[in-house]
Structure 1
């Protein structure tokens, strides 16, 4: 199973992805404004690997002038359907279809790990104005919560480590990243949780045994949560760097 095949897998489940994937907490956008040193309202932003527009729409609702950049046909179509007022262009972080120096912020919500940093970092520096901000974040399962740690362990025992792809950006090409962690949770039906789990690339590429695993997980979690509701806990991992002004 290659990283490229996993990256291409999301379009097959775009509607389910949009319905089941978690949003981002308001505290994230407060932290983003603080790190950028400017309000999001009126900021020129490109959200790269925008998917179905979860982060993009939140940024637009806060008054940002946001453009979605998405490589996947199915994901881009779902984004347009759900958020018809958001402009969308096809592309990815390794070759941004954007003019040089045109952005105040460049954001990657749950998508930096699909890029090649040797290409995406120079592209970020190119499209940001001097002093502009590159922000990379992800919603990661909070494994300090016992039931989530147990689920993570079961997935790794069945399918091996590395099923959950996430990579914090490293300092390179003159960019120094600062990191902030934010915790939050949401209470959702068990079926929504399982649908969310099924939108991760491991399950979308049809790895052997994934359907059986989801069925077993449903039965196990029904015993743990007999009312049919679970509280998912997340850690938002936010990394921010600035294009040098000089």
Structure 2
């Protein structure tokens, strides 16, 4: 799916909410990226594509990577510039990278590869990577082995339809676009982790997903009603108002 689609750009309208509520990534993920790419992040010329508000960009920057963010949405890019003023930001998407040939040691896609057309994005990544450079793709997927998350997923799929959820689908959310690329030797890993956040942050996280955003104004009232009901479900599980979110990061790395 190309990044120019309305759904891919729907996050622009909630950039500040996205930055405040969406989960980050555990240190173990970046450790695994270093292991699979065969080089440290410190000093690596890194292009973070579909960077959004800079959640992954900031973590890569903190590890010493020399990061340039690539983001198509003006609202998301503006939020990234506010939070990471020292990081260069260029407007563009993975299907047509506005980057020089053989200019990167590492290209990352955090929660964004599925918005590309992989038949275009993979050749572009290969063009921009230096020989021996790495393409790293990853997704936070809610851990459906946790009972309350599995129950919430049932409610989400009942609301949106069986094929849709704000959780992601284990084994599908990330790898589905990789399956369109036969013969490419992606190394894959799973990295479990969790965070504990106030219920308001969890609800804001849910509401920032494109499944809700594309409903637009017509969906505002039923969405609000669904989220109010979800608060009641969560209050029974987390009476102290703090929600323990469990994730599994699905990671895939390809060496050029």
Residue in structure 1 matched with residue 244 of structure 2 by the alignment: 231
Give the alignment partner of residue 174 of structure 2, picking from 151, 164, 167.
167
Residue in structure 2 matched with residue 42 of structure 1 by the alignment: 43
- Offset, 1:173: 7.1
TM-score, normalised via structure 2 length:
0.91
Residue in structure 1 matched with residue 10 of structure 2 by the alignment: 9
Give the alignment partner of residue 210 of structure 1, picking from 199, 204, 223.
223
Residue in structure 2 matched with residue 186 of structure 1 by the alignment: 195
TM-score, normalised via structure 1 length:
0.95
- Offset, 1:66: 0.5
Matched, 1:132 2:133: yes
Secondary structure in 2 matching 1:52: coil
Paired residues, number: 242
CA distance in 1, matches of 2:135, 2:186: 9
Does structure 1 retain, via aligned residues, the 8 Å contact 2:118–2:180?
no
Residue in structure 1 matched with residue 208 of structure 2 by the alignment: 199
- Offset, 1:162: 3.0
1:13-44: CA deviation from partner (whole Å, max 9, x where unpaired): 00000000011000001000001101100000
1:190-229: CA deviation from partner (whole Å, max 9, x where unpaired): 1100000000001112263322211110111112211101
> What residue ranges of structure 1 are gaps of 5+ in the alignment?
none
CA distance in 2, matches of 1:116, 1:54: 23
Provide closer, same or farther for how the CA distance between residues 38 and 206 of structure 1 changes in structure 2, counting only shifts above 3 A. same
1:142-192: CA deviation from partner (whole Å, max 9, x where unpaired): 000000011011100111133246332236375311110010000110110
Does structure 2 retain, via aligned residues, the 8 Å contact 1:170–1:177?
no
> What residue ranges of structure 2 are gaps of 5+ in the alignment?
none
Provide closer, same or farther for how the CA distance between residues 46 and 7 of structure 1 changes in structure 2, counting only shifts above 3 A. same
Aligned-residue RMSD, C-alpha: 1.5
Secondary structure in 1 matching 2:24: coil
CA distance in 2, matches of 1:44, 1:70: 17
Does structure 1 retain, via aligned residues, the 8 Å contact 2:139–2:174?
no
